[in-house]
Amino acid sequence: MKLFIPGPIWCRDEVLKEMAKQPLGHRSKHFTTLYLGVLEKLKKALNTQCDVHVSTSSGSGVWELAVRNCARKRVLSCECGAFSNKWGDVAELNGREVVRIKVEPGKAVKADMVADALKKNQVDAVLYCHNETSTGVTNPIAAVAEVMRDYPDVLFLVDAVSSLTGIELDVDKLGIDIALASVQKAFGIPPGAAVFTASPRAYARAKEIKDRGYYFDLLAFKSNAEKGQTLVTPCEPHIYALNYQLDAMLAEGMANRYSRHKQMAEVVRDWARKNYALFPEKGFESNTLTCATNTRNTDISALNKELLAKHDCVISDGYGELKGKTFRIAHMGDMQVSDMRQLLQWIDEIVGL
């Protein structure tokens, strides 16, 4: 089945085959060589001098890591939909005070809002979602990064779960302390692992914090990775898959990869504008998924039933309270422009557009 939902995403057979290899002893030289290679390739693909780590968890685990290691007491949570809201909740569940900026679904969290909130509130870190998957909004992170420059003690923690490797994110230039992503989104790998960058400032902050826990202790990630090791038995199938996918990404070229995502997005957006309407605020539409307003009241579950029966694929209904009011089509990972055109043609035939 081909999943056009914004995670998990359809994966190439070659990626699945990599994951079917025999396990390695995770303290063996063979594993260390594989893992150090993967970490190097991640740095190259993400174009960063920061360390990059792999977590045997989904992206939400790294939400928890970021908060526990980088915030002593209080965070500013920038919320524009279900996923960014949830990160604020996770901070609260981990005992942090949470100051929230909340905008309506479909809107972006702008730099002036962040500047205003930082003027009024003393916080240890800002939680910012690069690409809000529930509304298809890409937030203006470069402008927010400018604001962050005036607050060198406030760490910049970024959820790039559904954008990393699909939409360019210049971690070093933007001064991002932690950027995190799940592999089942733009990486084009089955779910079960997450990837994150960590800046020297993030490590320094973690050193000040005693209560970092065990599984998501940032300093344990650092000391183990330096030896090509992991704290616990890692998700080896995903590390094989990352190794394979990163080679493919670097062969494609990251600039080409970002431009392919943009091209796919343009095809889907043009179609959505013509037949429905775009849900995100103009100028903030995501290049990894399109969220359309369901102006025709198309029955999305009926549409999916037919897509599944006739073409072995599905798209995504709106998320949470946006169910029925919007629908989402993912265009990320290893999908091609031709896949998107084919999908849209099938939808046209079923809906009668």
Q: Could you say whether residue 245 binds ligand PLP (CB under 6 A)?
A: no
Cα gap 80→84, rounded to integer Å: 6
Q: Are 329 and 316 in contact (CB under 8 A)?
A: yes
Output the smallest distance, CB 78 to ligand PLP, in A. 12
Among residues 4, 31, 83, 187, which is the contact residue for ligand PLP, using CB under 6 A? 83
Whole-number Cα distances in Å, 74 to 99, 204, 210, 262, 335:
7, 17, 16, 36, 40
Among residues 7, 140, 280, 333, which is the contact residue for ligand PLP, using CB under 6 A? 7
Choose one: 139-147, 157-165, 213-221, 263-271; the region binding ligand PLP (CB under 6 A): 157-165
Per-residue buried b or exposed e for 59-94, using 16+ beta carbons within 10 Å of the residue's own CB: bbbbbbbbbbbbbeeebbbbbbbbbbbbbbebbeeb
Q: Between residues 59 and 155, which has the closer beta carbon with respect to ligand PLP?
A: 59
Segment 95 to 134, residues that bind ligand PLP, using CB under 6 A: 129, 133
Q: Could you say whether residue 82 binds ligand PLP (CB under 6 A)?
A: no
Q: Could you say whether residue 319 binds ligand PLP (CB under 6 A)?
A: no
Query: 95 — alpha (psi -120 to 50), left (phi > 0) or beta?
Result: left
Segment 169 to 198, residues that bind ligand PLP, using CB under 6 A: 182
Q: Could you say whether residue 161 binds ligand PLP (CB under 6 A)?
A: yes
Q: Between residues 311 and 323, which has the closer beta carbon with respect to ligand PLP?
A: 323
| Strand ordering across the sheet containing 97-102 | 51-55, 194-198, 178-182, 155-159, 125-129, 74-79, 97-102
Q: Could you say whether residue 50 binds ligand PLP (CB under 6 A)?
A: no
Q: Between residues 131 and 294, which has the closer beta carbon with respect to ligand PLP?
A: 131
Residues forming contacts to ligand PLP in the complex (CB under 6 A) are: 7, 58-60, 83, 129, 133, 159, 161-162, 182
